Structure 1
Amino acid sequence: MTSEERGRIIPVNIEQEMKSSYIDYAMSVIIGRAIPDVRDGLKPVHRRTLFAMGEMGNTHDKPFKKSARVVGDVMGKYHPHGDASIYDTVVKMAQPFSYRHTLVEGQGNFGSIDGDSAAAMRYTEARLDPVAEELLEDINKETVNFVPNFDESLREPSVLPGKFPNLLVNGSTGIAVGMATNMAPHNLGEVSRAIAAVIDNPEITTDDLMTIMPGPDFPTGGVILGTSGIKNAYRDGRGKVRIRGVAEIEDEEKKPRIIISEIPFQVNKSRMIEQMAALVREKKIDGISDIRDESDKDGIRVVIELKRASQPLTVLNQLYKHTALETTFGIINLAIVDVQPKVLGLRSIINEYLRHRREVVRRRTEFDLRKAEERQHILKGLLLALDRIDEVIATIRASKTGEEASAALIAQFGLDAVQADAILKMQLRRLAALEHQKIADERDALHREIERLSTILADDKNILAVIREEITTLGEKYGNERRTKITPFEGEFDKEDLIEKREVVISLTGDNYIKSMPLETYRGQHRGGRGIIGMATKEDDVVQKVFTACTHDYLLCFTSAGRVYWLKVYDIPEASRTSRGKAIVNLLNLNEERVTAIISVSEFSDERFFLFVTREGMIVKIPQAEFSRPRANGINAITLRENDELVHVKSIDATSDLILTTRFGQSLRFNIETVPLRHRNALGVIGIKLRYGDLLQDIAVIEKDHLLTITERGYGKRTEFDEFMGHGRATMGVRNIQTDYSAGVVSSKAVSDDDEVLLMSRSGIVMRTAVSEISIQKRGTRGVRIMKLDNGDSLVGFTIIKSAPEAVETETGSESTSDNDSAPESDSGSDEYDTEPDTEPENMNEY
């Protein structure tokens, strides 16, 4: 290498060179290939295809031309990037399921909604659709700029005049480098009215525009769920729209079936049906016996035959959930604005369209005005010549050449070269009187046209009035009915629609293992039965809580730290009767805390409250509305004193009477109005005073027939509410039930005569029995044996359930035996025993 050659080498930082080269490449793809121009809504390949078809006279009123000829013309003149991309463009612009208003009218096989490809270009024919000609209208009136083509042998438009608002009506999809566009199609009639509204009121809001143009209108129809995604897209240029196919449930000869007549936009119907069939084979969707595609040229018809015992609505919801029958269309309104990619809201898109149309109409009007004035100038010369025709003829005859005749006319009659040339070209038939009048009429008409065009150019408002009239006429001429419906449904698909609504039994252990079981698992037994195994616990773990809830209810899980977490009942794994369940830490985001209280809620009412009671007798009343917004990490519910913990939560109204019951059997009745209303995270006030060693065990709301109190030993009784006289809050109350020194009250609840109770022991034994089998006794008595327990076992709680019309289980076998073999002597024939007066144990401290 010579020194001269080395001197021509320029050192370049490779990082900077790669960066600049990649940016150049990216912008080339963005501007020249993948992203549409906001003015005409077209990418370069679409624009060149339509322009070439217009140039070759391939319009809607002319015979079809072979697609291969169209592709060859576009590729040879304007778009040298291969025939495949051009033909794909022609095909897509001719597909009624891809474009809301097709731009190309096709003849032959142009593909299908099942994903079938079009026939080869040598077999198909195409021509411009009338709507596409609206895009090209006035292109020869100097309305847009032209640029050289790829070899500079021809000129092509940089943008089309675009009277038809193609970007809003047909949308666009494209993936560039580092960005993508996905614009939804809309209804032409609504778009034209929205544009007119912006012209009438430039300050119109997006919400007002949505009353005229409520949302996308997809060519395949369907249903849009909710408007929040539409609002986001119209306001900010980005939003997610959920589209659902249209399906009806038919019941033919007692065998139901689902008929799908519309599918979401851009969904492959054949692939969707295959997906449905696969889910049926995998048993992820149950209840379908057959799927048939009966679609034809008249429309889509997919028939889904159901089994007789299936629930049609549940199956349909599962199809929406798991298949492409419901999809999300992510709107990204990205377009090229002044040679830059920008994300635009609805108003910005309309404003850019109007800015382009103002320029087009202004340039068109200037062109027409210039041509009219030129023609008027010529007509003035012709009329002058006709008025002095003899002199004109004599002057022309006296001239030797045409150039001399033109110069003589200019000199003698005060004409210019253009007028003189027009006179020399005038035919002899123009000398007739009628021809003279035609020229005069044309002159007068041109005068009026010049005044009209001059008026349009005089004020921008007049240009906007022309645009408004044109867009309104366009909407009336080509607009049609909306195909896509919009429903007020909001948010994600409702999981509850896929789950049967039924009662289940929820159990929670001390180590926070939780599970749900169908209520039917436990059949009724007579009082004194042994029950059946309801839960297998690991060593040193015991069942702490058991209750019933609906699968659609919320579970508010309150922890030892005074926080609350939300959990849907159907999210709790259903387990067998003898299984241990699942650790609740796998369902909740607990932070070194354990769940100590759970309440099920079907809905949050503004008129009801949550009542919190702690182990040390503190009580707090907080409105339910403050717990209606679930958070994954939970929220603070109440503040606890040191060493205190939450034991129960009740949903109550503002006028209820309450009964607090302690482990030693003391009960206190007072009205909830004596408890001040607090906000979340409050400490609360004293509910009941406790003796040394005593703890608050349960709270009952007086809203049923009796108070049912059960001890850890399996004894219990019902008591009339009138037995408990109202006392002031923060007192000790009265004796409710006698308890043993080693076992106290486990729970005390309000019950009705037709209720049933479900009891569970620490070892996981569960028994279900009717409340009516438990006798009614006075305060201070011991009660009757309700459930027989093994040595070392004890009750941990019970829950109230509504009785069902089912047979009571026979008390035989290993899991259900009579209570006579181990009942105490006092329980021999009479339910009411140990009816001693209301006295205290000799040594309360031994509890």
Structure 2
Amino acid sequence: MAEGEKIISINIEDEMRGAYIDYSMSVIISRALPDVRDGLKPVHRRVLYGMSELGVGYNKSYKKSARIVGEVLGKYHPHGDTSVYDTMVRMAQDWSLRYPLVDGQGNFGSVDGDSPAAMRYTEARLKRLADEMLNDLDKDTVDFQPNFDDSLEEPSVMPAKFPNLLVNGTSGIAVGMATNMAPHNMTEVVNGIIAYLDNPDITVDELMQYVTAPDFPTGGIIYGYEGVKQAFHTGRGRVVMRAKATFETSKTGKEQIIVTEIPYMVNKASMIEKTAALINDKKIEGISDMRDESDRDGMRIVYDLKRDAMPSVVLNNLYKYTQLQSSFGVNNVCLVKGRPMTLNLQQLIQYFVEHRAEVIIRRTKYELAEAQKRAHILEGLLIALDHLDEVIALIRGSRDPEVARGQLISRFALSEVQARAILDMRLQRLTGLERDKIVAEYEDLMRLIDHLNAVLASDVLQRGIIKTELEDIRERYGDARRTEINYVGGDFSTEDMIADEAMVITISREGYIKRTNLDEYRAQGRGGAGSRGAVSKKDDFTEHLFVATTHEYLLFFTELGRVFWLKVYEVPEGGKATKGLPIQNLIEIPREDKVRSVLNVRGLKDPDYLENTYLMFCTEQGTVKKTPLEAYSRPRTAGINAITINDGDRILDVQLLAPNSEVVLASRFGRAVRFNESKVRSMGRSAAGVRGISLSDTPGDRVVGMVCLADPTQELLVVSENGYGKRSPLDEYRVTNRGGKGVRAMKLTEKTGNLVAIKDVNDTDDLMIINKSGITIRLRMSDLRTIGRATQGVRLIKIGSNDEISSVAKVAAEEKDESETEATLVVVDSSEELAESSSGVITVGVLDIELDDNTADEEPDAEDLA
């Protein structure tokens, strides 16, 4: 240790704590957080002040950016040139700042994330709006502080005639805290401040009538208003932003999604690249091509859609998986008197108004002092003019100016300043006209002094000046909102942009599923040949056909007793002649399993609905089970067990059950059992159920349908595999014990074939029948009269020799087309063959069937009465 040196032991924890706190405060105060008064961080303030001192105002020529950066670095900002240039560049980007403060010339980057050109290639100057930020800086309106080497002074805050923090926002990461403030519309903010000036006790909710929401420079849509309200009230909130998109059709007939505005701070090129990756990975389907057609006229991102894609579904998937929807986390942290604070909307306006009031007071005091100085000089000049001859003689008789000044002071009781002004006065001021000008100037100054004194003494006048200046700012720089507000939006919901409309859902035996608009199915006369429906493979045919709306849930019950969930709008759309997509592409059904029943429900969120709604299960071997819907209200991708299936059995049908419903089960050999749902107790999800009907001992018998009726006036329709069917009142199916063999549902013959379906119908229903070859017909139930339970029925659809009915469903009746020809009565022999045209559509006349000798109502046989 050298002589005279001394080592002092200190605690390293205390030293590290003190050093870290000093560093933290330096970052918080001098780097990362903006001042609530002018909304600027020190680097922004120094760039603007340096440009002003360099003389690159809005009405001056551009100067090289390197020259500006050097000026700021050398005088005010002791950090790297990159920080200064990046700051200046951002203040020049109209997609970064709602109201840019720097006018850049050259390549200043792009919304695609392209870097700006080097500072030696670009030029810049201040925007006119920046002049409003710096205005009155020379009138002692703000405090100045020494620069980093005490050689110069820089402003500690800008006078800021407009609320820059609110209109441009800011972001920054300090130590232990961060800020992220959204930009707003100038017109709205000024209107809000004026409302605050008129009523300082105004609430945040009242201010929100003027400042409705953030207004981002890239436009877009604010989706949902709760986050905005929370941010305005507390200073913290989450604002959801969406791109602005429209649907168009190209010249070639392709449907397109056109995006013209994207969320704030989203890199367009990166977003497109990530979207392409999602499309390649099949996470987003329905898009055939994507390209960026943006040019100098504006942004335009085009998504070409596949033929079977639904634009609203694709768009919502884009919102869900890409940056077409993003969020802005509002965190209004800024410096208030040197301390970081989180402020709400009312507080931000309050502190800005206080700053402007202080600026006006200091400016007024400065102007008053200057006016008083000038008035004092003019008073001396007027005294000299009133005693002109004596003053001239006194000056001519003096040996030098100092003697003359002393004599003027002693003779006329003048001040040093007044005497000097008289000696400096030019001879032309001695003319009468010039004297009048001095008198007029003095009178104007006295009025100005009175006004300035009144301003200093009156808060009302001070607020009036703030209001007038803000109105001028609004007039010159105010504009319309760029960002739309969707008040009804909320957390992301895929079905928000999808119309809730009826769809026909078809599922083939091979597992192909599609949805088709109900309007594509035209009602025909009973007995007609029908129109071509689903195009299927040679051995495939439609097995499930029903109607559901796009917002409903589909519950898929498989033959092995599992249940899966899917929204209707997630089912691919296709025309009547398309076969759809494999259901395994939509839900994770094992290869050895297949869908046996599909149920559509409106929602799975209401506890009362879930607990008071039951599902009735039925298997092909006649087992039934009743379970609350609540047991199936928690969707899982891999599905869950819905029922325990016995060996050799499989699920036939599952239906929603209304209280006190009548349950009717029909077997393939034409028997039906009817019992009340109360005969089946409620069971858990894993239960196997109880016996509902006893099947015939003859091999091949099984349950073909289940009907759950809440309305006793409903009628039952039974359909046989050869196209025969009939309507009968429910009362004709007498109540029997659950588990019995039941009564005859239809008289079966070789001509009719075995039973394939049982449905509850009335005159307001239409019936849709589809056979294994894909032929579909739609019948009005009002055209089919009611006949006895034990009859053979009438022909509903003409069946080919190697064909049979595969599926039957009821739909809401259509209005009858006046142009349709009423069906004529003809006798059809069961041996008639059907001709098929080259187009694959069966072509026969519109037929009706007269009853044969076997269709008369019959008395119940002994087996029925047993």
TM-score norm. by structure 1 comes to 0.70
CA–CA distance in structure 1, aligned partners of residues 276 and 362 of structure 2: 59
1:755 corresponds to: 767
Question: Is the partner of 1:189 in helix, strand or coil?
Answer: helix
Structure 1 counterpart of 2:326, which letter? T
1:836 corresponds to: 860
Q: 1:94 to 1:35 in 2, by over 3 A?
A: same
CA–CA distance in structure 2, aligned partners of residues 274 and 187 of structure 1: 31
1:591 corresponds to: none
Q: 1:838 to 1:295 in 2, by over 3 A?
A: farther
1:378 corresponds to: 377
1:742 corresponds to: none
2:98 corresponds to: 100
Structure 2 counterpart of 1:434, which letter? L
Structure 2 counterpart of 1:600, which letter? V
Aligned to 2:731, which of 710, 719, 723? 723
Question: CA offset at residue 649 of structure 1?
Answer: 3.9
Question: CA offset at residue 473 of structure 1?
Answer: 0.5
Is 1:137–2:135 an aligned residue pair? yes
1:268 corresponds to: 267
1:641 corresponds to: none
2:59 corresponds to: 61
1:293 corresponds to: 293
Is 1:355–2:354 an aligned residue pair? yes
Is 1:707–2:716 an aligned residue pair? yes
Question: Is the partner of 1:211 in helix, strand or coil?
Answer: coil
Q: 1:17 to 1:768 in 2, by over 3 A?
A: farther
Note the aligned Cα RMSD (angstroms). Answer: 5.9
Is 1:439–2:451 an aligned residue pair? no
Q: 1:834 to 1:202 in 2, by over 3 A?
A: same
Question: CA offset at residue 143 of structure 1?
Answer: 0.8
CA–CA distance in structure 1, aligned partners of residues 584 and 443 of structure 2: 102
Question: Is the partner of 2:372 in helix, strand or coil?
Answer: helix
CA–CA distance in structure 2, aligned partners of residues 31 and 92 of structure 1: 21
- After the TM superposition, which of the residue ranges 93-102 and 700-709 deviates more from structure 2? 700-709
1:234 corresponds to: 232
Q: 1:180 to 1:300 in 2, by over 3 A?
A: same
CA contact (8 A) 2:743 2:863 kept: no
2:463 corresponds to: 464
Is 1:202–2:200 an aligned residue pair? yes
Q: 1:446 to 1:345 in 2, by over 3 A?
A: same
Question: CA offset at residue 798 of structure 1?
Answer: 9.6
CA–CA distance in structure 2, aligned partners of residues 277 and 662 of structure 1: 52
Question: CA offset at residue 468 of structure 1?
Answer: 0.3
CA–CA distance in structure 2, aligned partners of residues 177 and 234 of structure 1: 25
Is 1:483–2:482 an aligned residue pair? yes
CA–CA distance in structure 2, aligned partners of residues 724 and 391 of structure 1: 136
Question: CA offset at residue 224 of structure 1?
Answer: 2.9
Question: CA offset at residue 383 of structure 1?
Answer: 0.8
Question: Is the partner of 2:743 in helix, strand or coil?
Answer: coil
Question: Is the partner of 1:379 in helix, strand or coil?
Answer: helix
- After the TM superposition, which of the residue ranges 115-124 and 247-256 deviates more from structure 2? 247-256
Q: 1:631 to 1:390 in 2, by over 3 A?
A: farther
1:176 corresponds to: 174
CA–CA distance in structure 2, aligned partners of residues 176 and 49 of structure 1: 20
2:427 corresponds to: 428
Structure 1 counterpart of 2:479, which letter? N
CA contact (8 A) 2:65 2:122 kept: yes
CA–CA distance in structure 2, aligned partners of residues 331 and 80 of structure 1: 31
Q: 1:708 to 1:669 in 2, by over 3 A?
A: farther
1:365 corresponds to: 364
2:11 corresponds to: 11
1:123 corresponds to: 121
CA contact (8 A) 2:719 2:725 kept: yes
Aligned to 1:151, which of 149, 152, 155? 149
CA contact (8 A) 2:245 2:257 kept: no
CA–CA distance in structure 1, aligned partners of residues 515 and 449 of structure 2: 88
CA contact (8 A) 2:716 2:758 kept: no
Q: 1:724 to 1:195 in 2, by over 3 A?
A: farther
Q: 1:139 to 1:294 in 2, by over 3 A?
A: closer
Q: 1:280 to 1:217 in 2, by over 3 A?
A: same
CA–CA distance in structure 2, aligned partners of residues 262 and 581 of structure 1: 34
Structure 2, unpaired ranges of 5+: 517-529, 533-538, 558-562, 573-579, 591-596, 618-625, 637-653, 683-690, 695-705, 746-755, 797-806, 815-832, 835-851
CA contact (8 A) 2:30 2:42 kept: yes
CA–CA distance in structure 1, aligned partners of residues 787 and 290 of structure 2: 62
Question: CA offset at residue 7 of structure 1?
Answer: 7.0
Q: 1:414 to 1:724 in 2, by over 3 A?
A: farther
- After the TM superposition, which of the residue ranges 104-113 and 830-839 deviates more from structure 2? 830-839
CA–CA distance in structure 2, aligned partners of residues 704 and 517 of structure 1: 34
Question: CA offset at residue 81 of structure 1?
Answer: 0.4
Q: 1:6 to 1:60 in 2, by over 3 A?
A: closer
Residues 384-419 of structure 1 deviation map (CA, whole Å, 9 limit, x = unaligned): 121112333344445545444434333322223332
Structure 1, unpaired ranges of 5+: 508-514, 526-531, 536-542, 559-563, 585-595, 634-646, 676-680, 682-689, 740-744, 760-766, 787-796, 811-827, 843-847
1:409 corresponds to: 408
Residues 255-282 of structure 1 deviation map (CA, whole Å, 9 limit, x = unaligned): 4445443333323333333344444544
Question: CA offset at residue 475 of structure 1?
Answer: 1.0
Question: CA offset at residue 198 of structure 1?
Answer: 1.5
Structure 2 counterpart of 1:357, which letter? R
2:75 corresponds to: 77
1:600 corresponds to: 601
- After the TM superposition, which of the residue ranges 233-242 and 141-150 deviates more from structure 2? 233-242
CA contact (8 A) 1:661 1:668 kept: yes
CA–CA distance in structure 1, aligned partners of residues 299 and 414 of structure 2: 71
Q: 1:841 to 1:179 in 2, by over 3 A?
A: farther
